[in-house]
Amino acid sequence: MKKGDLKINKNYVYKIISVGSSNISILDEAINAEYTLERHIIDKHFIYGYARTVYSIQGKSIKENVIIHQINHGYATKKWLYVAMSRATDLNNIYIYKGKNELINEESIKTYFTKKIEGYVKQDLSKGRKIDKTRYITVDWLKENCIDKRCFHCKEILELKEITADRLDNNLAHHLNNCVPCCLTCNLKKIQY
């Protein structure tokens, strides 16, 4: 944000030094500069420093406690958790709050897997693979074989947003007897060969 000679940097930490009824004074500790801004500007352009996204602090080292929230969220991956944890300079300062599974409920899983199966049908039809609807992969198969299960190839626990059904014989459709649970990484590696 730039206003006259005042330049406030994005993803930068400022210390609040006083709060008035219509303005807030902040301190840039790096250059020991104090700024007084109207509250509506603070509300529009700032987030409070008690909470940050993982990627907004990427590249920073944190000496204080790091509390990581929502590791059970459907979009939280191992890579995301690694970035969050690697911000701490001392692993003893990391606290993990699991929270509730916001995306992992019965209806959202059913919708997610239904769309995945629709994609498999399109793939199979576009490649001319014969589909037998009585033997085709189902939402129940994906739930039973993939949620909290391991990838058939690398044996890593499958993360919800990276679940795929890998065909053992790529000439055949996504039939129940032709599929194994697979992580997206392993499935994409197969495509390259």
Residue 63 shares a structural domain with residue 134: no
How far is the C-alpha of 164 from the C-alpha of 111, rounded, in Å?
Answer: 15
Residue 10 shares a structural domain with residue 20: yes
Question: Looking at the whole model, is its pTM more than 0.85?
Answer: no
In this prediction, residues 14-38 reach a mean pLDDT of 85
Banded pLDDT at 143 (limits 50, 70, 90): very high
In the predicted structure, residue 136 carries a pLDDT above the cut 80: yes
Share of the chain above pLDDT 70, in %: 84
Quote the number of domains for the chain. 3
In the predicted structure, residue 101 carries a pLDDT above the cut 60: no
Half-sphere exposure at residue 145, Cβ-oriented, CA atoms within 13 angstroms: 20
Residue 111 shares a structural domain with residue 171: yes
Residue 111 shares a structural domain with residue 156: yes
pLDDT in tens, 29-78: 878 888 888 888 877 777 666 566 777 777 788 888 888 877 766 667 77
CATH number at residue 184: 1.10.30
Which range marks the domain in which residue 92 is found? Answer: 51-103
> Phi and psi for 165 in degrees, rounded to 5?
-105, 115
Residue 13 shares a structural domain with residue 69: no
Residue 58 shares a structural domain with residue 129: no
Query: Which amino acid, one-letter code, is at 1?
Result: M
Q: Are strands 33-38 and 6-7 parallel, antiparallel or unpaired?
A: unpaired
In the predicted structure, residue 100 carries a pLDDT above the cut 70: no
Residue 186 shares a structural domain with residue 122: yes
Starting from the edge strand earliest in sequence, which strands make up the sheet with 15-19, in order?
Answer: 15-19, 23-28, 33-38
